[in-house]
Each structure stands twice: as C-alpha cells, then as structure tokens.
Structure 1
Amino acid sequence: MPTYRLRVNDVDHELDLPGDTPLLWALREELGLTGPKYGCGVGACGACVSLVDGEAARPCVRTVAETDGRRVTTIEGLSEDGDHPVQRAWLECDVAQCGYCQPGQIMSTVALLAADPDPGDEAIDRALRDNVCRCGTYVRIREAVRLAARLTRKER
C-alpha cells in the first residue's frame, strides 16, 4: 500500500491507506478530526468543507491520492482558541442551531474572504450556495459573513 503525505492543520502526516480512500475518512478516522462532518457523501451538502491549499474543497469526494503532498486545513486548524474572525462572527451572530453544517459553512466563508475580503450579498450567496443548513439559518449566516469580513479587515 502506498504512503500519502499530507500537511493537516500545520502537522505533517504519512498515511498508509488505499489511494481511493476519501479524504474525509482519513481526516476523521485516521487523524481523529471530527470538525468536517459526513453529510451526503457526494459533495452536495457542504458539511465536510475543508481547505486544500487554501481553497474550499469537499473531502467526501476527494481521495487521499488526489490530496497527496497538499496542505489541508479543517476547522480545528483555524485557531487554537476559536478566535478566528469567522468563528468570532459566528458566535456573535448566534448562527448555529443544531450546528452540524457550521464547520463547512465557516470553512467556505474563510475561503471566500481570502479571495474577496469585502463580498457583497451575491458573492456570499454564490460562495455558500452549495452549503446546506437544515435549520435554515441562512439570514444569520449572511450576517456573520459580513461581520467576519469587517473583523478580518479590522473594522467593526
């Protein structure tokens, strides 16, 4: 079995897994990271969104072979104490109800703000359109994205 090398949350890992193993399984089962959630398994819901080389990716449909040598960031890797601007905005706006989709929503927002530090509503909707929230907190999510953008730019 080949060995795949990943840098996950700034820690190097060598994984001896079949190449077609979904990255989500490697993150959750091999590395014990429970932030990325299993939702649909086909990349449609966004519950598992993590960053691969800084871009939003869906680990449920990405293999460890496809991710070999890449840098992966899960919600656990954003900050040690939850003080990332997007996490702070989520708390301040009281976004989560059940919370299941929130790691994916947050990681999609991090990727959005890295590409567009001042997104308008259309850009927010486009970036998060494939992240499903069963509780329907979309209004608070959009509010939190706007606040996170201001916090990231050090505005209030």
Structure 2
Amino acid sequence: MAIATAVSLGSRRNRAASLSTPPPKPNFCVSASAVSIGTSETISPTSFLDQRESGILHFVEYQGLGNDLILVDNRNSTESRITTEQVMKLCDRNFGMGADGVIFAMPGVNRTGYTMRIFNSDGGEPEMCGNGMRCFARFIAELENLKGRHRYHRPPFSLTVMVA
C-alpha cells in the first residue's frame, strides 16, 4: 500500500496542520495537501509529483514486510532533495512523519534505469536494503507505468528486478 502525501520540514505546527487532512484511500495515485515552511497555510491539493513549490517535499510512503519507507521522486537530480539532518527529522516517529528510512529515486548510471539512494532514520546510508529495493522498484514502476525486468543501481551494486 502506498500513501501519497507532502509535508513541510518546518515546525510542529505545520505537521499538525498537514495531519488534519483525512487519510487517503489505499490507492497509489491520490492527491495530497502540502503545508508551506514557516506557516500553517495550506497549499491547494496537488499531485505528489509536482515539485514546483519551494520548501515543500512531496513523497510517497510504502510499507514492505514491516519496513515503512518514504520514497522521493528525485529523478531530475543526482543530489538528494533534503539533507541527512532533514531525513532524521522526517523519520522521527514523535515529531516527524515517522519511517525507517528515506529513499531517493535518482537518474540511472552505468546503463541502469534509475539509481536508488537510501538513508536510514539515523541519517546513515546502509549498503543495501532488500525491502527498500522492493519498494523502490514498485515506486518506479508506478511512476513510469513499467512492467517486466529493469536494471537499477544501488551503489556499489546494479540489480535486475522483475515487476509484475
């Protein structure tokens, strides 16, 4: 199940405002409300793929065999959209969204479709996360409407995954 949403990495007041929206149905393609940094002003509903607003992070949260992971569409850049400090704040279960980690979908290298960059909730980068790769493959498949075999890069590995 994927939940599309967006949050500000600002104050707790912003988090409360973003949580006032009723939870979406368990479909992948849903609209999200976003809250701007520094205020509780709600921005009109928008697709989680729309990244034009500055200061807003749009993401989808997946659950894979008990791991809850935040996935960010970062296909237009090789640099993470947020810092490791912001990753830790976002993953904090008391004051953030709460997750085991954050995964960025980045441009592919070495003849792969995309690169997966993952951060644990403590800000560290693990060598690999099997459940994360499963969620990443599904995330890309949903974004690109893909099925079949695809190659992805997770430094230092390149993996072929099958999406049904």
TM-score, normalization by structure 2: 0.32
Higher relative contact order (CA closer than 8 Å, sequence separation 6+): 1
